[in-house]
Amino acid sequence: MDYEGFFKERLGTLHEDGNYRTFADLARRRGGYPVATHHEGGQVSDVLVWCSNDYLGQGQNAEVIAAMHTALDECGAGAGGTRNISGTNHYHVLLEQELASLHQREAALIFTSGYVANVTALSTLGMGLPGCLIYSDAFNHNSMIEGIRHSRADKRVFKHNDPEDLDRLMSADDPDAPKMVVFESVYSMDGDIAPLDEILSVCEKHNAISYLDEVHAVGMYGPTGAGVAERDGVMDRVTVMQGTLAKGFGVVGGYIAASTALVDYIRSFGNGFIFTTSMPPAVAAGALTSVRHVRGAQDLRDRHQERARTLKTKLKQAGLPVMPSVSHIVPVLVGDARLCKDASDALMTRHSIYVQPINYPTVPRGTERLRITPTPLHTDDMMDRLVEALVEVWADLSLERAA
């Protein structure tokens, strides 16, 4: 086989469809967020970042950075092993205790990323529970889809955010079969939020495990930042809470929080937990400090929501097609892969504004968009600059405006 030819041909298709991904080469600046240095073709310039998942700016929080420095000086660079063989650092233990407490659970378990947490927890549960049936929301993230696939359990996909469809599917199955319902709270590309109370009621009716991904909510929703389940007063009804340390908490890593027995089960049987080196102690220390800080930072959560509301209003007033979103995520519809990339390029080259295009397969074809994520650190002036630039780009590319 002509291997090189194969790779090039497949990449050629991506180019033709306008779905080839290019990465912005950025250097984040300590204390400078949301401004970053952009490297391109040997040139460097400042850009204003509008699409980061460092939603609260915690990646630049001075306390978090100081904690990482301290742990680096105390412990050195790497963890030194897998959790089982010499790689459990005291910072890992403290972080797990903090996360269990955040979610009011008996125990928590950390992983090297939110992705790994989902793949490992879902594959381990689905594989282990005999005859387990898994019900997955149609819009679930790839990490959950892959975790379910690896479990080899029978899967049913229920309509997005539709408890009635879920109930219908569950009612058609063996009432005695073990069941698990897998869903998210904030869906990150549309910014909509699941009806948690209703979905959990269906789970309870059918005696199913509920597995809730709060990756785009932890730190940002609920009185202590434990997520939408906390905000909605239903956290105690969720069997497995899953989250990330990378977005609202600004560092890296993922976790689950659940009962002692369930967490111990994943710890003991989860390949993606067992057979990999644990996160560096400095990362765990940074995440620990961030979680502790964010738990008490209601002002940050309020400001974050206010920034999102303000930006949505400004975009709407300018006639730009903001998609409906009830969260901090602000998607603006373009509806075409190539135009979406062109719009993003024009923002970068002409306005020094960075918003990554979101194309298929991350979103369905025809719904390509610019996904904007205002943070507490984005000012009114920055918003006005963004809106002006978008209006100009929309006109230049003859993009569709709001109806």
Cβ nearer to ligand PLP, comparing 115 with 394 = 115
Query: Where does this chain bind ligand PLP (CB under 6 A)?
Result: 113-115, 118, 141, 143, 184, 188, 213, 215, 244, 246, 254
Q: Which residue's beta carbon is nearest to the bound ligand PLP? A: 114
Run of H or E including 202: helix 196-205
Closest CA to 393 of 330, 335, 345: 345
Residue type (1 letter), 256 = I
Cβ nearer to ligand PLP, comparing 188 with 351 = 188
How many Å apart are CA 21 and CA 358, to the nearest integer?
A: 10
Closest CA to 218 of 194, 237, 246: 246
What count of other Cβ atoms lies within 10 Å of the Cβ of residue 257?
Answer: 27
Residue type (1 letter), 91 = Y
Q: Give the β-pairing of 369-372 and 330-333.
A: antiparallel
3-state secondary structure of 47: strand
- Cα atoms in the Cβ-side hemisphere of radius 13 Å centred on 215: 26
Closest CA to 318 of 374, 386, 387, 398: 387
Q: How near is the Cβ of 53 to ligand PLP at its closest, in Å? A: 7
Closest CA to 140 of 189, 106, 179, 177: 189
Q: Report residue 277 CA to chain centroid gap.
A: 23
Quick check: is 314 catalytic? Answer: no
Cβ nearer to ligand PLP, comparing 110 with 339 = 110
b/e 239-254 (16+ beta carbons within 10 angstroms → b):
bbbbbbbbbbbbbbbb
How many Å apart are CA 200 and CA 127, to the nearest integer?
A: 23
Cβ nearer to ligand PLP, comparing 99 with 320 = 99
How many Å apart are CA 366 and CA 362, to the nearest integer?
A: 12
3-state secondary structure of 187: coil
- Cα atoms in the Cβ-side hemisphere of radius 13 Å centred on 45: 14
* Helices and strands: H and E segment counts in the chain: 14, 14
Q: Report residue 67 CA to chain centroid gap.
A: 24
Catalytic residue among 179, 247, 312, 314: 247
Give the active site residues.
247
